[in-house]
Structure 1
Amino acid sequence: MRRASSVLLFRTLAAARGGSAASIPVSNRFLQSTLYGTTAGSSPIRRRWFSSILATAAGTSLAVGGALIAASSISEGALAKEPPPPHTLPKDVVLYQYEACPFCNKVKAFLDYYDIPYKVVEVNPLSKKEIKWSEYQKVPIVMIDGEQLNDSSAIIDKLGERILSKKKTDSTSEDDEETKWRKWVDNHLVHVLSPNIYRNTSEALESFDYITSNGNFSFMEKISVKYAGAAAMYFVSKKLKKKYNITDERASLYEAAETWVDALNGREFLGGSKPNFADLAVFGVLRPIRYLRSGKDMVEHTRIGEWYTRMERVVGEPSRIKA
């Protein structure tokens, strides 16, 4: 079965190179924005690198940096939360997202933990028609009582200032630790995810099976994107390994998980008895992979499982408003 899947993937990629009628045109910026949706402006080297990869994939790749979001297991003994005062909560929050985007899931972890109700608009990553109105063409985008906020970390900072009156912008020694690890999430942790998610053809297909089932695609787009996207991302992951000097995908993931556990230094959370923004950031970006093969391996071979289970319990059920 695995061999058959591999053959199908490579045939799809070969067809894309030949200009197959089934291929779907995707702009060069799409791959870049979905992998690095909240980072600063890209360098000319990165733009040229992504352009070359997309040329290989004949514009059919779909790169969503993440996959399966499994439902959190909630127990009656869930850790208690302290919701913010009701008068600080925004009245209307709308999140424009890709379901499997790690940065979008970072924002959702924050919203879920603080019990902030939000609506979701799933963006079609091919047409992006849902955000045509915005000059900023990446996700996540959040509209808060009519005000547009972009970039996951900026969104969380702005919401934190609004709902947590004691959350100061001036750093203390504790805040410095929190800031350090939030930056580590964006600058390191996210970069080891894609090489693991798309490590081989079967894992790439596993990821894209979820992406196409939960994303905003037409029937024909689902078929083309699943196989062409998985094939393209298989090769992109190899480039990412080289770019970030990753020699062993799983080893890099395990090392990152152990690094985070060491940072906890015996505490339940980095924030002590309750999660801080860094805890929520790590949990958010890992949530898309937790129940994929890579996430299962991570929990089995590192010490992160107990912390992750505590986070599942304390974040609790999604505060998303279902349509």
Structure 2
Amino acid sequence: MISLKSIYNFATATALFKQMTRNNVKFKPIMRLMSTEKKVKQSGGLKIGLIGITAGAIGGTGYSIYKLNEARGHIINETMLHPILKDMPKIEPSRRVKYPNDTSGLKLTLFQYQTCPFCCKVRAFLDYHGISYDVVEVDPVLRQSIRWSEYKKVPILVASYDKGYQQINDSSMIISALSSFLIDNQQTLSQVINFYPSVSFIDDDGTKKVEIMNRYFLMFQGTVPANRTPEDMAEERKWRKWADTKLVHSLSPNVYRTPTEALQAFTWFSDVGEWERLFPAWERALIVYVGAFAMWIIGKRLKSRHNLKDDVRISLYEDCDFWVRSLKKKGTTFMGGSEPNLADLAVFGVLNSIEGCDAFQDVLRNTKIKNWYNKMREKVTSHQSHTLNNA
């Protein structure tokens, strides 16, 4: 966690970070300089507090990624379903994505960060199937737009009903539940959601954690689609898990590999997320510079945590080439055959989250994934309302 004292003067931190990226110097002397004692006027207290919140949010996010997939502890005898919420705060969407040929009947709102790989997975699914949805870009500092939710991560998908609002958490569960609903018209979305209960357990550090059961499984009450076999669905689940537990962990150490790359990534995040339009100028600058600084540090820890190679680019290249070799071995354009399946959409979504970063351009130059990725982009952006329903 970055201490409040270390970032008490935002203007100094910003200037130092810019200088650092130009000169490619180490952070250690900068940290000593930033921690020099100065008196802070009372009028600056609010800004300092918000800087502390930002640093805490960024550090907390990085720590959450760092702790992901650690060994699970003891399961508590407690399961939870996903109730329909009676009320939701009226939050104006950042934008609306509308597809004229949408026949899903769903009224969806996606609470997200634009470049979060898990949010990108959900958007890839919705866009590929031509499902309309509203987007709420979550404020990464105060996160006021999700204060109504006990679940504090993104993505959060909310489906509107006559009787209330169905909240769906976790990207893989969101995609599995929506796929099951679209394929099997014998059940409502709320009925589908009940097939994904949450189980509580105590982690090694003594904290209570929640695991969503069946998150990679499609759930049908009617007949399983004729074009799907148990072997086919098992392979799809395998690759979806691979995207979440292997590929995604190569991203941060690569995107934030150097101070310059970290700053370039956050600048692109700001542009594609429209932070300049959606958030105050001081907050955007705070997120970009302090965020880049924090994630450069966290990226190095993640490199060790996930046993990446000393040159982290090689680990990312190997993951991408492994995917391409597996496609070649299968002898199909996509893992789903002639059309993408949920595994294709998951891998595409994860990689799409870094499309504007230096690391992604290196991937295109040094691996063989470019052909598949461009075909996937064409499929996703064509919005052809691909139907999953057998009726």
Shorter-chain TM band:
0.7 to 0.9
Unaligned runs of 5+ in 1: 46-82
1:1-323 equivalence runs, <5 A: 4=22, 6=24, 17=35, 24-26=51-53, 28=56, 31-33=59-61, 87=103, 89-145=104-160, 146-165=165-184, 169=220, 172-213=230-271, 214=273, 215=275, 216-247=278-309, 248-264=311-327, 265=329, 266-317=331-382
Higher relative contact order (CA 8 A, sep 6+): 1
1:232 alignment partner AA? A
CA distance in 1, matches of 2:167, 2:338: 33
Task: Give the 3 Å change call, closer, same or farther, for CA 42–263 of structure 1 in structure 2.
Answer: same
The worse-fitting range, judged by mean Cα deviation, of 16-25 and 117-126 is: 16-25
State whether residues 95 and 140 of structure 1, in contact with CA within 8 Å, keep that contact through their aligned partners in structure 2. yes
Distance, in Å, in 2 between the alignment partners of 1:105 and 1:120 is 12
Distance change >3 Å, CA 318–CA 201, structure 1 → 2: farther
TM superposition shift of 1:211 = 2.4
SS at the partner of 2:135? Answer: strand
Cα–Cα, structure 1 residues 11 and 17, in superposed 2: closer, same or farther, change >3 Å? same
Asked if 1 retains the 8 angstrom alpha-carbon contact of 2:364 and 2:370, the reply is yes
The CA distance in 2 between the partners of 1:91 and 1:107, in whole Å, is 15
Q: Quick one: which amino acid aligns to residue 271 of structure 1?
A: G
The residue that corresponds to 2:188 in the other structure is none
Q: 1:168 to 1:2 in 2, by over 3 A?
A: same
Residue 260 of structure 1 and its aligned partner are, at CA, apart by 0.7
**Aligned-partner residue type, residue 325 of structure 2:** D
Residue type at the aligned position of 1:116:
I
Q: Which residue of 2 aligns with 1:77?
A: none
More deviation in 228-237 or 305-314? 228-237
Contact 2:268 2:356 in 1 (8 A): no
CA contact (8 A) 1:9 1:230 kept: no
> What is the identity percentage for the equivalent residue pairs of Structure 1 and Structure 2?
38
C-alpha distance in structure 1 between counterparts of 2:63 and 2:114, whole Å: 13
Cα offset for 1:90?
A: 3.2
TM-score for the superposition, normalised by structure 1: 0.76
AA at the equivalent of 1:256: D
Q: Give the SS at the match of 2:157.
A: strand
Task: Give 2:202's aligned residue.
Answer: none
Per the alignment, in what secondary structure is the counterpart of residue 176 of structure 1?
Answer: helix
Contact 2:58 2:291 in 1 (8 A): no
- Paired residues of 1:34 and 1:139 also in contact (CA < 8 A): no
Tell me the SS of whatever aligns to 2:110.
Answer: strand
Higher strand share: 2
The secondary structure found in structure 1 opposite 2:52 is: coil
Q: By how many angstroms is 1:44 displaced?
A: 10
Shift of 1:182: 0.3
State the Cα deviation string for residues 268-299 of structure 1 (Å, max 9, x = none). Answer: 00000000000000000100212321111111
Conserved in 2, the CA contact under 8 Å of 1:258 and 1:302?
yes
Once residues 229 and 14 of structure 1 are traced to their aligned partners in structure 2, the CA distance between those partners, rounded to angstroms, is 19
2:154 aligned counterpart, secondary structure: coil
Q: Is the 8 A contact 2:159 2:167 kept in 1?
A: yes
Partner AA of 1:102 in structure 2: P
**Aligned length in residues:** 279
RMSD (Å) for aligned C-alpha atoms: 3.2
Deviation, 1:165, is 2.8
CA contact (8 A) 1:94 1:121 kept: yes
d(CA) in 1 for partners of 2:341, 2:243: 14
1:188–1:9 distance in 2 versus 1, CA, 3 Å = same
Structure-1 separation of matches of 2:167 and 2:282: 32
> Which moves more between the two structures, 12-21 or 270-279?
12-21
SS at match of 1:316: helix
Q: Is the 8 A contact 2:62 2:298 kept in 1?
A: no
